[in-house]
Structures are given as structure tokens and as C-alpha cells.
Chain A
Amino acid sequence: MFIEIKKLTKTYNDFLAVNDINFVIEKNKTLGLLGPNGCGKTTTIGMILGLVTPSLGEILIENKNINLFRRDEILKRFNFASPYVELPKKLTVKQNLEIYGRLYGIQNLDERINDISSELDIKNFFERKTGELSSGQKNRVSLAKSLINKPEILLLDEPTASLDPDIGDFIRSYIQDYKSNNKVTIILASHNMSEVERLCDTIVMMKKGKIIDRGTCIELIKKHGRNNLEETFLKLARSKDEL
């Protein structure tokens, strides 16, 4: 296994944000992290990214505890995009990509920026300040930043939140293509069930900090006797007792 989460727990004072969760992700697969708001998805992502220290448990990358890697050595294998995290607004798109390219130590940076910009169709607003862009444009720039280092592990937190269906579909199609053409393991947190169905190989369903179910999309729908993932999500999210 590529990534293994073992007995991961995070407590803030008396509040149990993540409660003893375990899951594995195989290399070059996509795992969907689902659950209602406040279920611990963001905290879990934060722990994987090294932004939050777990109270208990460990995160293993290729069987090695993530804490045993040097901070800069492990983080150059990761990247992250979320509409809730922005790039410096007063810098142009090009400047932002240049800075993050340098921070990630990218060789042939101009070429890489050129490639990723063409793929994500952001070249026409390259010289505009990032803060002046529309939500759809910002999301594409944010995705470009998250792929600048061709990460082995990509974490996406609601990558299509608040986007119109057209741009949302563009992003989903792009991720799908990128996945099939590159070696990347993705952890995707999303509330968009069709997105999860389309992109994820396996799903982990969380509620109140715990994992309440897991499996492939088809397995979960079948297991809960529903027609689609949205209905399955609603059933699990509204259930009083954890399964």
C-alpha cells in the first residue's frame, strides 16, 4: 500500500474531531473522503499535509512514518488545492506560478508553467492579478499551482465548490484525464456525489470524526439499497446510529 492511515485521532480539548480512523490508499488510486460538514475531513487532510499534529495514530507513506521524513523532502511529493485557500491576490497568475514553481524546486520552470497553463486554459489571463479573477478562473489557477510539481500525492478539498456546471465539468474532466496520464494518488474531499462517482476508486464515509462505511461506489450503493451515491450519502448522514 502507498498511504496507510493507522488509528488516526485528533482531539481539540474535549472535542474529538477525528476518532481512531484507519484506511489505506493504493498507489495511483483516488480515494474519496465523504461526510457531512464537521465530520473531520478537513482535519484528516490537515494531518496528512502536516498542518495538524495528530493526537494519536500515524500516517505511513510507503510503510514509513511521515514524521520520519524531512519536512521539505516529503512535502515536495505532495500538493493541495482548495477553493478555501487562495493564492496571493495582488500577484499575477504568472507570478504566482513562478513563485510556487521555485518553492517546489521545479526544473525547466518556464516550460512547466507553459504546459500546465495550456492544459488548464489559463494563459489568456496570465498577466492579470489573481484577486481579479472569477471563481472558475481562480479554481483553475489553484489547480495549476497544485500540479506544478507533478505531485505523487494530490489532496483536493471540494475542487469544484461554487462553480457553474460548465467549469465544474471542465475541472472534473481535467482531473480525470490528468489521472489517466500521470502517476498520481488523489485524496478527494467533496460534497458533489456525481464528482465522487466519476473520479474516485474507493470511498471512505465519515461522520462525527469516525469512518462509518467504506468501499467502492457501486459496493456502497448496493449495500445500502439505494439508486445512487447521493441517496446513499443521505442515508448514512441521517442515520442515528453509526454502522
Chain B
Amino acid sequence: MNFNKIYALGLRHLYLIMNSFPRVLDLIYWPTVQIFLWGFISKFFTLNSEYYSNTVGIILTAAILYDFLFRASISFNMMFLEEIWSRNFTNLFIAPIRIREIIAALTLTAILRTLIGLVPAVLIAIPLFGVSVLSLGVPLIFLLLALYLFGVTLGLLVTSGLLRYGPSFENIAWASLFFLAPLGCIYYPIEILPQSLQIIAKGLPLVHIFEEMRSILMNNTVNYFNILKSISISLIYFIFGVLIFYISYFGAKKRGTLINMGE
């Protein structure tokens, strides 16, 4: 790994953000709207539901964590799509940068985009709704790590689709997370799902992450085994995502789609 090249590619996306105020606004706008929306819903539930009466803002915390996952995935996709939209794809893929360095650069830079969007929203939630994700304590770091790995994995799978099918795959980029959300048990316990779907859901890290989040907030207990399980599952998906990306890259070279991408 050449970190100067990873830095260079990261810098390309940093400049892109810094050069455009509307772009920064766009990054901040959607997570903030989400926080407002779920904040009010959360407040309503807190006041009217016994289930949530002891845990203020559980839905809001779930919304923030889900948005973190969503932003991580979308950021990864967006950075890849930027290369296609700007017709820079060929320049990038003929530069002396290895595929693993491209993946590393996108993975590391996605965190920056994610945080630019999410930090203001998280800060707004504290005075406005009296909810802070920091109340999850040290486990928050591990939960975010698991979410980030899984978010980037989804990004890798979508970008693999872009390599395989071209820019027409773009719509899938936006739909990918909504497809998994019902199975992720973000706002409800896994028992709500039908038995058959529970089996599938347990294969996703999301269930374990959000179950653990609820457990910490409602029971004040931390099960590090569950957290480790969620990180391990995310890591397996991440490795799978990298593998798929490589397969798609070599497939695209064979089909000749790299040379026409974005033209």
C-alpha cells in the first residue's frame, strides 16, 4: 500500500467538497432532516408509549446509527460515481495506483463525507431532543465500526455492479440500503419479523448491532460478545465485497467496459 497515493485520491474528494458549498450543504441537509423527523416521532413515542418510556430517544439513536450506515455506503458509491460523471474514470484506472489502494482510498475518504453530514445532526439532537448517541459509551465505537464496515461493503457491492453493468446500475446505489432496512431490525426487535425472515436477518450484522444498541439503552448492559459478533459478520461481508469488486474489475477489463465508462 502506498499511502501517498491513497492520500492523493482522498485529496481529490476533499477538494471536491471544499470547492462547493452546495455540496457541503447537501451532505449536512439530509441527515439533519432525518434527525428532526425521527426526533419528533421519538418524542411522541416517549410521551405515549410504555415500551419506550424508560429509554428516551431510543428511536432517535437508532435513526442516527442507521444514517451513519446509510451515509457510509452512499459516500462510497458517490465517490465512485463522481469519477464516472466527471469522465475521469479512464484517467484514474490508468494511473499507477493499485486496485487495493483505490478501495482503501474510497473506504477511508467515505468516513470524512459521512462525518461531515452526521456530526452537525448529532450535535443538533443533544439540545433539541436531549438525546446523545455518546450515551452508548465505549461500545459506540465498536458499533460504529461494525456499521461502517457493512456500509462500505454495500458500497463495494454497488460499485462492483457499476463496473459490471455501467452507469445504468446507478439507481441500485440509492435502493440498496432500503432493501436491507426491513431485515436490519433498526427500529424494532427481531421477534417482530416472521420466523423465516429472522433466520435471514440473523445473517446480517445490523440485527446484532441494533439489538445491542437497544440492550445498552434499555437495560444498561453491554454484551461484548454480541458486539464482536456484529464486527465479525461485517468483516466477513467486507472481505466478500472486496472479492466481488476484484471479480467485477477483471470482468470489466475483459468486457472492455472500463474504457467507455462515463463517455
Contact B87 A85 (CB under 8 A): yes
Contact B258 A95 (CB under 8 A): no
Q: How far is the CA of A103 from the CA of B256 in the complex (A)?
A: 23
The segment out of B91-99, B142-150, B191-199, B201-209 that lies at the interface is: B91-99
Q: How far is the CA of A127 from the CA of B86 in the complex (A)?
A: 18
**Interface-central residue, A84, A88, A90, A102, by most chain B CB under 10 Å:** A88
Contact B91 A72 (CB under 8 A): no
Contact A52 B91 (CB under 8 A): no
Contact B253 A99 (CB under 8 A): no
Is B128 an interface residue when CB atoms closer than 8 A count as contact?
no
Contact B8 A99 (CB under 8 A): yes
What 1/0 flags go to A59-91 for Cβ under 8 Å of B? Answer: 000000000000111111011101011111111
Where chain B touches its partner, the secondary structure class is helix
Q: How far is the CA of A90 from the CA of B255 in the complex (A)?
A: 30
Contact A88 B16 (CB under 8 A): yes
Contact A91 B253 (CB under 8 A): no
How distant is B112 from chain A, measured CB to nearest CB, in Å? 16
Knowing A10-B256, A90-B19, say if A103 contacts B93 (CB, 8 Å). no
Contact A103 B97 (CB under 8 A): yes
Taking CB atoms and an 8 Å cut-off, the chain B residues in 210-258 that contact chain A are 250, 253-256, 258
Contact of A88 among B82, B90, B97 (CB under 8 A): B82
Contact A51 B12 (CB under 8 A): no
What 1/0 flags go to B1-26 for Cβ under 8 Å of A? Answer: 01011011101100110011000000
Contact of B94 among A80, A89, A105 (CB under 8 A): A80
Is B181 an interface residue when CB atoms closer than 8 A count as contact?
no
Q: Tell me which residues across on chain A come within 8 A of B98, comparing CB atoms.
A: 71-72
- What residue of chain A has the Cβ atom nearest to residue B91's Cβ? A85
- What residue of chain A has the Cβ atom nearest to residue B88's Cβ? A88
Q: How far is the CA of A42 from the CA of B90 in the complex (A)?
A: 12
Contact A72 B88 (CB under 8 A): no
By Cβ-Cβ distance, the 10 closest A-B pairs, closest first, are: A102-B8, A76-B96, A75-B96, A72-B96, A46-B259, A86-B87, A85-B90, A103-B95, A53-B253, A51-B258
Query: Chain B interface (Cβ within 8 Å of chain A)?
Result: 2, 4-5, 7-9, 11-12, 15-16, 19-20, 82-83, 86-91, 93-99, 250, 253-256, 258-259, 263
Query: Chain A interface (Cβ within 8 Å of chain B)?
Result: 10, 12, 17, 42-43, 46, 49-53, 71-76, 78-80, 82, 84-92, 95, 98-100, 102-105, 129, 131, 145
Q: List 18 A-B contacts (CB under 8 A).
A: A17-B256, A42-B259, A46-B256, A49-B94, A51-B90, A53-B254, A72-B5, A75-B96, A75-B97, A84-B87, A85-B90, A88-B83, A90-B19, A102-B4, A104-B95, A104-B96, A105-B4, A129-B19
